[in-house]
Amino acid sequence: MPVRIIWHPSSLDHDPGPGHPESPDRLKAILEELRGPAYSQIVNWSEAAPAEARLLERVHPPAYLERLEAMCRRGGGMMDGDTFLSAGSHLAAIHAAGAAVEAARTAFEGQPALAVIRPPGHHATGDTAMGFCLINNVVVAARFALEDLAAERVLIVDWDVHHGNGTQALVERDPRIRFVSLHQSPLYPGTGREDERGVGNIFNVPRPPGLPPETYVADLNAAVGRATDGWQPNLILISAGFDAMAGDPLAGFTLEPDAYATWVREWKKMKVPIGAVLEGGYVPERIRLAAGETVRALAD
């Protein structure tokens, strides 16, 4: 079955500034890869609508969302030491969340989906932008699936090399959502210990840098197995950061692009719909390959 690629041109207008690792070049590389002839028979494309306010406000207080919009109207500004807004960032953020919502809907209805978006989201808490993230796209999508699509259980798997602290904070009291995160430790943001369990729905896999790639692959698969033992999700949402690959400038994991396909193919054995949402990854010529491997596995 073809994979639905969901994006919006506004993602290219979010500009954190010269030299910032979360640059539009990341997205351009993935789009160029997936628009190539090798994928013409296994993808189809759609542009996202902006996420409705009611969906965003399930995750973020209106005052926070209004502050983001107001700062962008003034031309942008600094949210923290590494998270910046430009004039186009608000439009990009609400369309990124809308793409995540559409990925959840598309997957739930039977077609695998990948939201190719920026800014990323998994560090954003309810009222705080951080770690390049403004709106927590994957949590907006998960709440949408639970409230609007009548999903009863959503599994979020975060394979970004950084712990999705915002995602954990937003879901750790909701037993309808289980959150599994493989991440480098110690590393920004310093959260994600194994003993952080929420209401029994948090499954953190902190690991040091430099391990063999097959160790990371096996450890995340084992954690997904624990999270789904006796608990069958109706939908799997992947926080698909590609910064756990060897050579990423912000971390020290050792994965190659085929690791992402291995994970997807393993989780497809559960016969559960899968949607993925782009998070980090800062070497454009590498992340394009990982995104391609992910799409091929989703299409199998």
**pLDDT for 60-109, tens place per residue?**
999 999 999 999 999 999 999 999 999 999 999 999 999 999 999 999 99
Helix 284-299 and helix 24-34, axial crossing angle in degrees, nearest 10: 40
**pLDDT for 148-177, tens place per residue?**
999 999 999 999 999 999 999 999 999 999
**pLDDT for 21-51, tens place per residue?**
999 999 999 999 999 999 999 999 999 999 9
Tokens representing 273?
């719909």
Task: State the sign of the Cα–Cα–Cα–Cα dihedral 5, 23, 285, 249.
Answer: negative
The residue assigned the tokens 């454009």 is: 284
Q: How confident is the model at residue 110 (pLDDT cuts 50, 70, 90)?
A: very high
Rounded distance between C-alpha atoms, residue 100 and residue 259, angstroms: 23
Burial 263-280 (b: 16+ CB within 10 A, else e): bbeebbeeebbbbbbbbb
Specify the CATH superfamily of domain 3-299.
Answer: Histone deacetylase domain (3.40.800.20)
Which amino acid appears at position 80 of this protein? Answer: D
pLDDT at 1: 86
Q: Considering only CA atoms, which of 267, 195, 201, 196 is closest in space to residue 237?
A: 267
Question: Mind telling me the catalytic residues?
Answer: 123
Domain boundaries, the chain: 3-299
φ, ψ at 31 (rounded to 5°)? -60, -45
Count of CA atoms in the C-beta half-sphere (13 A) of 232: 6
The residue assigned the tokens 């923290």 is: 80
